[in-house]
Each structure stands twice: as C-alpha cells, then as structure tokens.
C-alpha cells in the first residue's frame, strides 16, 4: 500500500490537514485508533479564532459554523465580587466564534466522507519506520491484520499520548513542561447560559468559567484537583462550587439542572522542539499542550495545520523552502500562545502554595487589566488570535 502523506490521528488536526491536502490534490490516509463515535463524543474546546474559522471555510465546511456558531465580541472577567467586560472588538476589530470541537470534527468527517478519502478506525500498534530516510513507512494492525503503508511524509496528529512524538529519538528532541497543581472539572448541562458572553472568574475558592454551546446548552468549568474523579462530584456539589466562584449577580442568575457530561482535565504547558524529524512532522497536541484557560489548544492545532499544509503542497509543487521552515514557523506562534495561556491561568487560579503577596499580585494584575486600555488591548489581541 502506498500514499503521499500518512496522517496519524483522526482528531481535529488530522482531519483538517487531510481536507486541505485533499483539496490540493495530495493523497492522504488517516489512521485513527478509536471509533468515529468515540472521537465525536469527546467534549473539549469551544472557542474558535477567526483564523480557524477561515480554515474551515477554506476546506468548504465553514457554513454550519458560520450559521450555528455564536459570535462573541467580548468576555466578562471577574475577580471576587468585581467584574468587567473586555471588548475584543474595541481593541482589535475582531471577535471569536463559540462552536464546539465536536461540531468541527463532525463537519470535517462529513467532508472527508463526501470526498471519498480514506480514514481507518480502530488501528493498533502504529509504528513509524524510516522517518529519517527518504522512504518512510507506517505499519499497524487493522481488523486483526498487519498492514504497511509507504509514503513520502508522515504527519503526527495523534495528540499528547500518541506515538509520533515518541518516535523522535530522545537526543533529537527537547521537551519543556510545566504541570499545574490543579485541573478543571467540566460539565455540560441543558440549561440556558448564565450570561450571553463567557465569564472567566477568579475567586478565593478558585477559578470558574461559564461557556456555552447554544441558547439551551451550557458548558461550565470549576478548578479542582488534577487527579479528581468526576464521578465523585454530584451535580449539586458542582453547582455549589460554581456559584461560590462567580461574581454575585451571575451567581444569582445561574440556572441549574442535571449534567449530561462531566469530566476532569489536568492542566499543563508542554512544548516539544523541534516539531520535525526528517519526514515526520508533529502537529497540534502531539507537539504542544496549553492549559485551556486561553482557549488556545484547538486554535494552535489549526495554525500548525495551516503552516504544514502549505509546506507539503509547495513540496509536491517542487519547492522545499516551507518544509524546512515549518518547525520554526509553527513554534514561533506556539510559544506566544503558551505564554498567553500561562499568564491567563496564573491570573485567575488559586495555587496551593500561594502567599498573601502572590494573591495581592493577582489582584493588582486584575485591577490593571480592568483599568488600562493598553492591557485590555494586549489581552484581546492574544485571545482573538495572533496573526498566522
Ligand atoms: P487530539 O484531539 O488529541 O486528536 C488526536 C487523535 O489521535 C485522537 O483522535 C486519538 O484517538 C488519535 N490517536 C492517538 N494515538 C494514536 C495512535 N497511536 N494511532 C492512531 N491514532 C491515535 N482546548 C481548548 O481550547 N478548550 C478546552 O476546553 C479544552 N479541553 C480539553 C480537554 C481535554 C481532556 C483534552 C485532552 C484537551 C482539551 N483541549 C481544550 C485541547 C483541545 O481539545 C486540543 O488542543 C485539540 O483536541 C487538539 O487536536 P489534535 O487533533 O491535535 O489532538
Ligand atoms: C471553553 C473552553 C475553554 O477552555 C475556554 O477557555 C473557553 C471555552 C468551552 O469549552 O466552551
């Protein structure tokens, strides 16, 4: 078996890369470990930068996102009893779109089906061979049979726990990591959102985020221990924790109901450098993780895909310049998003070893953001997405 690009991982990075390459006439095979149902049921990111929406448009799947996605031109930021609205539009002229990762993935799978391009689900034992040679291949098991595919390039879009990053010899990669001493407990509930924009709130009890998927579906998060079992949290305990962490007028307005999903995500910052080894490229969560506070994970995956798709298309057109520039180009944007996500996380979370001084610093940072137009502009510029 042979193809031009083997894409490992059928999450948002792999699917978007597959569509961009397919439309440029580059043949791809996507290998995904899980079933399609499993991939589509993972509730994760919810905020798309305009560059991400533009990429969805570019591959012809942007219509539903433009129709059903909710444009947000600002967000509420709270600290204890205080809150203020930060206008993205005032500072940058731009907005973001609230549209779930599940929907992005669904739209991309439908487009891949319509294009007749292959995705193999349930693949096991994926091994990347010869990535540092001119003739790489990928072997795996599918439907109990061993298979091997020769290709020109391998795109490692297989998330943080995938095989791609680990294929790069330890001496050829450097990993930078910061693990935060907390996680997020998230729930989905069929209740109207507490506010028409997102609320990011710091409090004595810890962080909370109010987001949404539609007028009847809310997505809420509270800071929790990194290893907590979501099943140990009753819905009442969740609502109680959320209420205590919101500015008072929003705590009062909160409409509660049964949760339809509940999960815990640990928080970390992680970057692997470089994002290339020979003919293997790392893309999205396979190369980097940010804490979700800045809503950057999925958007960074999309910007990697933007750079890599153009580089591969140029290569098949006879120009290798962008291939050689891919890792540096992607990392330059990644590190800025890592910084922003770290900064926003540090502003609003409660750290177990925090001193009274540390808390005062957070408070002063909040006050400065509230009062300074230039601080708000810097925040807005990062939140809506730095240029590609
Ligand atoms: P993934 O979505 O991880 O996709 C990788 C795919 O590769 C998966 O489908 C996986 O099954 C497959 N795979 C893995 N190993 C193999 C293998 N060996 N062979 C074949 N296939 C393999 N971002 C936000 O902006 N906001 C959020 O609230 C948010 N919440 C998150 C919660 C969790 C629990 C996690 C893990 C991430 C969250 N993120 C969030 C980050 C965001 O979801 C990711 O940045 C985004 O999914 C990255 O897409 P990806 O395609 O690179 O990786
Ligand atoms: C959502 C998740 C985030 O991490 C974030 O910063 C904003 C929104 C969400 O799931 O809707």
pLDDT digits (tens, 9 = 90+) for 315-340: 999 999 999 999 999 999 999 999 99
Ligand 1, pocket-test mutation among 159, 283, 344, most atoms within 8 A of CB: 159
Give residue 126's Cα distance to chain centre.
24
Q: Residue 113: its pLDDT value, please?
A: 97
Q: What is the DSSP secondary structure assignment for residue 2, as one 8-state letter?
A: B
Are the C-beta atoms of 98 and 195 separated by less than 8 Å?
no
Ligand 2 atom with least separation from CA of 297: 4
* Ligand 2 binding pocket includes 206 (Cβ within 6 Å): no
Q: Residue 318: its pLDDT value, please?
A: 94
Q: Going from the N-terminus, what domains does the chain have, and what CATH number goes with each?
A: 2-178+268-346 (3.50.50.60)
Count of H-run helices and E-run strands, the chain: 13, 20
Give residue 332's Cα distance to chain centre.
17
Q: Residue 162: its pLDDT value, please?
A: 98
Low-confidence residues in the chain, pLDDT < 70: none
What ipTM describes this predicted complex? 0.96
**CB 104: neighbour CB atoms within 10 A?**
27
Taking 3-state DSSP, the helix, strand and coil percentages for the chain, each rounded to the nearest 5, stand at 40, 30, 30
Query: For residue 159, how many C-alpha atoms fall within 13 Å in the half-sphere facing its CB?
Result: 13
Phi (first) and psi of residue 4, to 5 degrees: -80, -45
What residues are in contact with ligand 1 under a 6 Å CB criterion? 8-14, 31-34, 39, 44-45, 101, 123, 126, 157-159, 161-163, 265, 284-285, 292, 295-298, 301
Q: Is 307 a catalytic residue?
A: no
Ligand 2, pocket-test mutation among 209, 266, 344, most atoms within 8 A of CB: 209
Q: Is 109 a catalytic residue?
A: no
Expressed in angstroms and rounded, the spacing between residue 173 Cα and the centre of ligand 2 is 30
The predicted-structure confidence for 22-67, as pLDDT tens digits, reads as follows 999 999 999 999 999 999 999 999 999 999 999 999 999 999 999 9
């Amino acid at each position: 078996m042979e193809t031009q690009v083997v894409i490992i991982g059928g999450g948002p990075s792999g699917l978007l890369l597959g569509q961009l390459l397919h439309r440029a006439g580059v043949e791809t095979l996507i290998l995904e470990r899980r079933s399609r149902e499993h991939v589509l049921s993972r509730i994760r990111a919810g905020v798309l930068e305009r560059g991400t929406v533009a990429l969805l448009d570019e591959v012809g799947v942007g219509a539903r996102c433009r129709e059903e996605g909710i444009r947000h031109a600002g967000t509420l930021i709270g600290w204890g009893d205080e809150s203020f609205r930060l206008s993205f539009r005032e500072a940058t002229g731009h907005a973001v779109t609230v549209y779930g990762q599940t929907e992005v993935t669904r739209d991309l799978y439908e487009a891949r089906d319509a294009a007749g391009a292959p995705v193999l689900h349930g693949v096991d034992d994926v091994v990347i061979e010869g990535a540092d040679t001119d003739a790489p291949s990928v072997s795996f098991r599918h439907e109990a049979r061993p298979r091997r595919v020769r290709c020109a390039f391998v795109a490692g879009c297989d998330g943080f726990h995938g095989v791609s990053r680990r294929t790069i010899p330890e001496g050829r990669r450097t990993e930078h990591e910061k693990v935060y001493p907390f996680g997020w407990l998230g729930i989905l509930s069929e209740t109207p959102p507490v506010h028409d924009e997102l609320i990011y709130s710091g409090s004595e009890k810890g962080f909370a985020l109010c987001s949404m998927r539609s007028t009847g579906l809310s997505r809420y998060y509270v800071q929790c221990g990194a290893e907590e079992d979501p099943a140990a949290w009753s819905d009442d305990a969740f609502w109680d924790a959320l209420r205590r962490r919101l500015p008072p007028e929003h705590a009062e307005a909160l409409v509660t109901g049964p949760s339809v999903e509940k999960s815990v995500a640990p928080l970390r910052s992680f970057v692997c450098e470089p994002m290339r080894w020979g003919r293997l490229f790392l893309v999205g969560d396979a190369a980097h993780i940010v804490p979700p506070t800045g809503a950057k994970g999925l958007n960074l995956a999309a910007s990697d895909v933007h750079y890599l798709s153009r580089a591969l298309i140029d290569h098949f057109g006879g120009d290798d310049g962008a291939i050689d520039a891919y890792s540096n180009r992607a990392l330059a944007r990644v590190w800025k998003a890592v910084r922003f996500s770290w900064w926003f996380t540090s502003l609003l979370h409660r750290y177990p070893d925090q001193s009274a001084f540390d808390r005062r610093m957070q408070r002063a940072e909040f006050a400065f953001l509230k009062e300074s137009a230039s601080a708000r502009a810097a925040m807005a510029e990062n939140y809506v997405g730095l240029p590609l």
